[in-house]
Structure formats: C-alpha cells, structure tokens
C-alpha cells in the first residue's frame, strides 16, 4: 500500500465513518507497512511469537548465520539442536520443521498464496501448526498487500476501536468485525489507522 493509496482510502473511510472523520485531523494518516513474502517470513513469524522484537531480531541473526539460504530444504536438513542453540524453543523448532515439511510435501506453498482468495490464504496458513488467524491476516495485509483485512483478534486494534467509538470497554473480536463492516473495501487501511491512533491519540 503506497502513501497515495492510503490517502485515497482514508478519504473514503472518513466519508463512511464520522468517528474517523473526527480523529483523522488529530493524528493524521498512517504510514505504509510492508513485509517480505515467502517461506523466510513464515519462519521469522514463528521465531517472533511471544518474545520481544529485539529478542526475535537477535535469534534471526543467528539463524541467518546458521542458514544463509533460509528455505524449506535447509530447515529440514539442519540439526534441531543447532536451532535450539540459535535461540528457538523446542516448540518453535517443531513448528519450523512442520512448516518446512509442509512446503516440501506440497501441502503448503508460501509462494502460491498470492494466487488464492483472502479466505483461502487464511485456511492454508491456519492449517499449519503454530499459526492462528491473526498471523494469517497479518500476512495478508503486509506481505500480500490485500486491502480489505481486519485482524480482529489484535488487542491494540480493539482497544483503539473502543476509544475511537467512545465505548467504555474494548469490543470483542465479533463486535469489532461488525463495527468496521462499513469500512470495506478498505479495512486494511482502517486497521493501520487504528494502530496509528492507538499510539498517537491526543490526551
């Protein structure tokens, strides 16, 4: 998503939702966010689960030294102990080997996801061990650049949406999805705006 696309989407969202129209001049439009696509991104997603960004970066640095070519065959061939020494937990090693196995067996194709619909991508990713709907939706948004995704399981998104809508508490994932239905076809940009609003909301 380019800055121009985001600008166009924010105008449409402000027109569709008076709460966005009120908040947009206060915090401004969000910046684009992108991630690489492919097997290595899925591997790093496993690494980064439930640890800090700094810790994940350090572990990925050691993994990249261990495996300069980070692809399924290399992950299957490397000793599990070497991955453990790089900083992965045994559970994450299990997920990483499972990802590599699925890729090699052809039951999952990281590169083939771009040809699937949003729901098909979510189904394919969540079939892997260690990946939930949130991980799949983040991949859709930032790696595949799909414009109409709302990862309602994201806590910060729901807190920000509750604030934006003047609610006493954050909405449930189901309520959140209902609250942003009218943001289609720009729910990805709406999500970016909520993360931006969460960090930059004026007191």
The domain locations on the chain are: 3-33+148-200, 39-143
Catalytic site residue from 17, 154, 168, 169: 154
Sign of CA dihedral 14, 20, 21, 26: negative
Task: Indicate the CATH number of 3-33+148-200 among 1.10.760.10, 1.10.1670.40, 3.40.190.10, 3.90.1150.10.
Answer: 1.10.1670.40
For the question of residue 148 being annotated catalytic, the response is: no
- Asked if domains 3-33+148-200 and 39-143 share a fold, the reply is no
Instruction: Give the Cα separation of 117 and 121 in Å (integer).
Output: 6
Residues in CB range of 189: below 8 A, 6 or more apart: 1, 5, 6, 9, 10, 13, 30, 147
The percent of residues above 70 in pLDDT, for the chain, comes to 99
For 36-57, write each residue's pLDDT tens digit. Answer: 999 999 999 999 998 999 999 9
39-143 topology per CATH: Endonuclease III; domain 1 (1.10.340)
Place of tokens 């495996």: 67
Closest alpha carbon to 59 in 86, 84, 95: 86
pLDDT, tens only, 125-182: 999 999 999 999 999 999 999 999 999 999 999 999 999 999 999 999 999 999 999 9
């Amino acid at each position: 998503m380019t800055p121009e696309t985001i600008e166009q989407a924010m105008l449409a969202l402000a027109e569709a939702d008076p709460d966005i129209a009120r908040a947009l001049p206060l915090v401004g439009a969000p910046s684009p966010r992108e991630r690489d696509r492919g097997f290595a991104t899925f591997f790093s997603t496993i690494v980064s689960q439930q640890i800090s960004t700094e810790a994940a970066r350090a572990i990925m640095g050691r993994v990249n030294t261990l495996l300069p070519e980070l692809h399924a065959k290399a992950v299957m061939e490397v000793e599990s102990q070497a991955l453990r020494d790089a900083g992965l937990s045994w559970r994450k090693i299990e997920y990483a080997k499972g990802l590599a196995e699925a890729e090699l067996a052809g039951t999952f194709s990281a590169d083939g996801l771009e040809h699937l619909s949003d729901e098909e991508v979510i189904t394919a990713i969540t079939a892997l061990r260690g990946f939930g709907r949130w991980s799949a939706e983040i991949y859709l948004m930032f790696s595949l650049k799909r414009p109409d995704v709302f990862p309602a399981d994201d806590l910060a998104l729901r807190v920000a949406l509750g604030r934006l809508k003047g609610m006493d508490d954050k909405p449930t994932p189901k309520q959140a999805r209902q609250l942003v239905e009218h943001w289609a076809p720009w729910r990805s940009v709406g999500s970016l705006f909520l993360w931006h609003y969460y960090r930059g909301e004026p007191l």
